[in-house]
Amino acid sequence: MSDFHLEPKRSDAIEKAAQSAVPVTGTEPASFFKQLKGFWVTFRTMFKKPNTIEYPEVKPEVQPRFHGRHQLNRYEDGLEKCIGCELCAWACPADAIYVEGENNTEENRMSPGERHAKVYQINYLRCIFCGLCIEACPTRALTMTNEYEIADDKREKLIWEKEDLLAPLRNGMLMPPHPMYPGSDHHNYYRGEIKESHPSQEVNGRK
């Protein structure tokens, strides 16, 4: 019934296995002239192209799914995707993320739905770039970019604030706070039905 070998192999099985093995030959060092081949190898290698990537001038290409620094994404009309749920912070094994949520109001709407992140910090001194925060995020607000040059000379500079992490406003996006797309609610946002901003979303001349 079973395909598994749960019983330990019996001694004759070991012996059989050993017999089928290739006997060790040539314990003697290779002849002098064969050893000289090594000189040819090093000499030939001198004329090969070095593998070195001259880093600061040449930035190495990383894989598309490389775990770089984080980014807080936006909907197509500019509202933030982050709902301040703190799931990323809870998922973080290095305790690198700090989130403080806040209620959205009609005057101060940063994201569709009830809540947004008032404070969002990632401490890159602690972050191990494991990506568990990305897996935890329910709205795909948090993703990782391919950017890897985040070294700095002060500890304070390595705690990235929400402004540093937020994705830039692309064409057709409006800087929140602003109301949701007219005639829609947060479900439309979550389903990805909002493709652009509406002129009525512009408030106080803010673009």
Partner 1 sequence: MSDPTILLDDPGWVIALKGLLIFVLCVVLTLLSVWGERRIVARMQMRLGPNRVGPFGLIQALADGVKLALKEDIIPKAADRAVFILAPIISATTCFMAFAVIPMTGVVNFFGEETIMQLTDLPVGVLYVLATASIGVYGIVLAGWSSGSTYPLLGGLRSSAQVISYEIAMGLSFVGVFIYAGSMSTRDIIESQSTWWNIVVLFPSFAIYVISMVGETNRAPFDLAEAEGELVGGFHTEYSSLKFALFFLAEYVNIIAVSSLATTLFLGGPSAPPGLGFTESWLGGWFTFIWFFLKVLGFFFFFVWLRGTLPRLRYDQFMKFGWKVLIPVNVAWILVVATLRLMTQQGASQFLIAAFTGGVVLAVLLAMSLYDSTKKKAEARAHDVGEMPEPSFPVPALPSIKKVEE
β-bridge partners, 142: 72
**How would you classify the pairing of strands 97-103 and 159-160?**
unpaired
The answer to whether residue 31 forms part of the interface with partner 1 (CB under 8 A) is no
The answer to whether residue 204 forms part of the interface with partner 1 (CB under 8 A) is no
Residue-wise burial string across 78-109, b where 16 or more C-beta atoms lie within 10 A, e elsewhere: bbbbbbbbbbbbebbeeebbebebeebeeeeb
Among 3, 4, 6, 24, binds partner 1 (CB under 8 A): 24
Where residue 205 falls (left for φ over 0; alpha for ψ -120 to 50; beta otherwise) is: left
Among 2, 3, 4, 42, binds partner 1 (CB under 8 A): 42
The answer to whether residue 46 forms part of the interface with partner 1 (CB under 8 A) is yes
When the beta carbons of 28 and 107 are compared against partner 1, the nearer one is: 28
How far, in Å, CA of 80 to CA of 180, rounded? 11
Helices (H), the chain: 11-20, 32-35, 37-45, 87-91, 132-136, 162-165, 186-190
Among 1, 31, 32, 51, binds partner 1 (CB under 8 A): 51
- Distance in Å, CB of 98 to partner 1, minimum: 39
- Distance in Å, CB of 56 to partner 1, minimum: 10
The answer to whether residue 54 forms part of the interface with partner 1 (CB under 8 A) is yes
Among 43, 60, 154, 156, binds partner 1 (CB under 8 A): 43
Binding interface with partner 1 (CB under 8 A): 10-11, 14-15, 17-19, 21, 23-24, 27-28, 38-39, 41-43, 45-52, 54
